[in-house]
Amino acid sequence: MTFDLTPEQDQLRDAVRALGRRYGHSYFVEKAKSGEHTTELWAEAGRLGYLGVNIPTEYGGGGGGITELAIVCEELAAAGCPLLLLVVSPAIAATVLNRHGTEEQRKRHLPGLADGSQKIVFAITEPEAGSNFHRLGTVARRDGDDWVLNGRKCYISGVDEAGHVLVVARTEDSSTGKLKPALFLVPTDAAGLTWSKLDMEIVSPENQFLLYLDDVRVPADALLGESLDAGLPALFAGLNPERITVAAMGAGTGRYAIERASEYTATRKVWGGRSIGSHQGVSHPLAHAAVQVELARLMIQKAATLYDAGRDLEAGVSGNMAKYAAGEAAALAVDTAVQVLGGAGMTTEYGVATLLGAVRAGRIAPVSREMILNFVAQHVLGQDKSY
C-alpha cells in the first residue's frame, strides 16, 4: 500500500496546477458572468494533453486512467476553475466509447476528445424519471436502417458547446418485447433535436439545458457498440468515472476555498495586533474543513486506484463514498471560508461565495447523497432495498 503518486503523476499535478493558476478563479467568474465559456483554458488543456490523460495512446491520449483524470479535475478546481465538462466529456463519454464503442466509433471520436477539439455530452436524466433509469421515457425505434428517437431530457450540461450528445434511450428487445437501454451518439445539429437553457443559481460558464428529441433520425452506426446488448454495460461504464471525477472536482474546490480563507485569516488583524486566525473560533472550523477534504481525497484515490485496476464492483462502493465525502467536504469548506472571511466572504473579489451554488449542487448531482446512503446501506451493510 502506498499513498505516493508516481513521478509522472506528480509532474502532471504540478503542470495542471500551474495552468489553472495562470487562468484562476477571476477568469472563471468573468466567463460565467459574461455568458461565455472557458474556451481558452479548455483549448490549452487539450493541446497540452491534459484532457486525454485517460484515453489510450493509439487514439491520441496519454494512456493513463481515471487516477490521472481525477488529478486534472482536482488541480483545476483547486486553482478556482472547476470545469464540469471534464466529468462529462473525458470521464463519461470517452470511457464509454473506449470500453464499449465500435472500433470505428473510437477512431472517429476519441482523438478529438483527447485534444479537446471535440466535446460529447451525456443525456440520461429526465423530468419524470429522476434517479430511476428504469423509468426513462425516451424511446428509440427502428425505421428501416435508421433509428428514430423521441423524448425529453433535463439538466444536460454543455449541449451548446458539444458536437454530439450521448443519449440514453430505451429500445424494444425483439426477443422479449421488453424495453432495454441503449446509447446513441446524436449530432447536436440533428433535425428534431432542440434545447432550452435552464436558468440556474450557480456561477458557472457551463450551462444546463432541457433537451427535446422529436423524431430525431440517426443512422444505424449512431447506436453505441456492436449491438443492443452493449447498452446496459455501456450505461454503467460511465458511472464510476463520473462519481470519481466529480468527487475530485469537489475536493479541489474545497482546497481552493480553504487556501483563500487561510491566507486571509493569517494576515487579517482586528484585536490587539493578532491575526484572526490565531483565535480557535476561526482556526478550528477551517482545520475541521481541511480534515474533511483530506479524508475525501483519500477515498477518491482509493476509488480511482480500484477502478484503474479493473475492480469495478469495489470501485463502485468507493466511488460512491468518495462522491458523498467530497460533496459534504466541499460544501463545508466553502461555507466555512465565507464565514471566517466575514463580509469579505460574500464579495466577488475574494472568490469564495461564487462557489456556494456549485458546492450545494454537488450534494445533489450527479447522484444525491440520499441515494448514496441507500446504496451503502444495501450493498455494504446488507440492508433490504428501501426504494
Q: Are 203 and 172 in contact (CB under 8 A)?
A: no
Q: Is 267 left (phi over 0), alpha (psi -120 to 50) or beta?
A: alpha
pLDDT tens sequence across 142-181: 999 999 999 999 999 999 999 999 999 999 766 666 778 9
C-alpha cell of residue 61: 491520449
Alpha carbon dihedral 228, 230, 233, 236, in 10-degree steps, equals -80
Cβ-proximal residues to 220 (8 Å cutoff; 6+ apart), any chain: 145, 146, 147
Q: Is 4 exposed, middle or buried (0-12, 13-18, 19+ CB in 10 A)?
A: exposed
pLDDT of residue 174: 60
Cα–Cα distance between 71 and 257 in angstroms, integer?
18
R_g of the chain computed on alpha carbons: 21
pLDDT of residue 135: 84
Average pLDDT value over all residues in the chain:
96
pLDDT tier for residue 310 given thresholds of 50, 70 and 90? very high
Q: Phi and psi at residue 345, in whole multiples of 5°?
A: -65, -20
Among candidates 96, 45, 48, which has minimal Cα distance to 73? 45
pLDDT tier for residue 271 given thresholds of 50, 70 and 90? confident
pLDDT tens sequence across 55-76: 999 999 999 999 999 999 999 9
Q: Are 208 and 156 in contact (CB under 8 A)?
A: yes
Cα–Cα distance between 154 and 125 in angstroms, integer?
6
C-alpha cell of residue 103: 472500433
Average pLDDT on 219-240 reads 93
pLDDT of residue 134: 76
Q: Are 94 and 68 in contact (CB under 8 A)?
A: no
Q: Is 9 exposed, middle or buried (0-12, 13-18, 19+ CB in 10 A)?
A: middle
pLDDT of residue 177: 61
pTM: 0.96
Average pLDDT on 184-188 reads 98
* CA end-to-end span of the chain: 37
A 10 A CB-CB count for 225 gives 19
A 10 A CB-CB count for 268 gives 15
pLDDT of residue 173: 66
Alpha carbon dihedral 320, 323, 325, 328, in 10-degree steps, equals -130
